[in-house]
A and B are shown apart, each in its own frame.
Chain A
Amino acid sequence: DIQMTQSPSSLSASVGDRVTITCRASQGISNYLAWYQQRPGKVPKLLIYAASTLQSGVPSRFSGSGSGTDFTLTISSLQPEDVATYYCQKYNSAPRTFGPGTKVDIK
């Protein structure tokens, strides 16, 4: 099975900072990569699919890039409401594994 890793596992940044989270697949998955946001105590929410397509309603400060095995999620200007854990997920084939998550908080 393809394994998904994320780095860092957690980060602390200031409001307005640019934040980048990396997701890596152990084998190529083309662009079959989604990103989810889970705020504390809340349900996961889809942010990005097809590696770089922003889900409707998601603020434009979120962006995704990558293809193959290496992907990034970028928050261009961190806001207080972005405090959350972010997960990547491969969905090219089963098992549609999630990454372990990256916890983002405000410094």
Chain B
Amino acid sequence: EVQLVESGGGLVQPGGSLRLSCAASGFTFSSYAMHWVRQAPGKGLEYVSAISSNGGSTYHANSVKGRFTISRDNSKNTLYLQMGSLRAEDMAVYYCARAASSGWYAEDWGQGTLVTVSS
């Protein structure tokens, strides 16, 4: 069974930093691209970042480019999102998701971790 468990969320002040982790199990982590998707309170889904299976290719939405960095450690079956210069508009539940083997849609999702940006 595919399991994705996010951690690292919490309360951070504007301008602060946070690193999210997503521990993966139940599949060969190193064979799959991964995504981060976020959802602000009461809002829709926003695609944030993606990384290829070997980490050689990454994507960041314009809204987070230069502030967030996606990475992965295939030896630890873990996906990361390093977030910096956090703003109020970054407050959201952050989901990690596994891309399908047949395309870059999100086949499996974690439960999410809440990031609150407030002074």
Which residues of A are at the interface with B, using a C-beta cutoff of 8 A? 32, 34, 36, 38, 43-46, 49-50, 55, 85, 87, 89, 91, 94-101
Contacts and interface: CB of A to CB of B under 8 A. Distances in A.
A94 B50 CA distance: 9
Nearest to A96: B47
Nearest to B58: A94
Contact of A95 (B59, B102, B103, B107): B59
Contacts of A43: 95, 109-112
Contacts of B46: 98
A91 B104 contact: yes
A50 to B, nearest CB: 7
Nearest to A46: B107
- If over half of A's interface residues share one DSSP class (helix, strand or loop), that class is named, otherwise mixed; here it is loop
Contacts, number: 61
Given A43-B109, A44-B109, A96-B50, A32 B45 contact: no
Contacts of A36: 45, 106
Contact of B44 (A32, A45, A95, A100): A100
A99 B62 CA distance: 17
B105 A44 contact: no
B100 interface: yes
A26 B47 CA distance: 17
Nearest to B63: A95
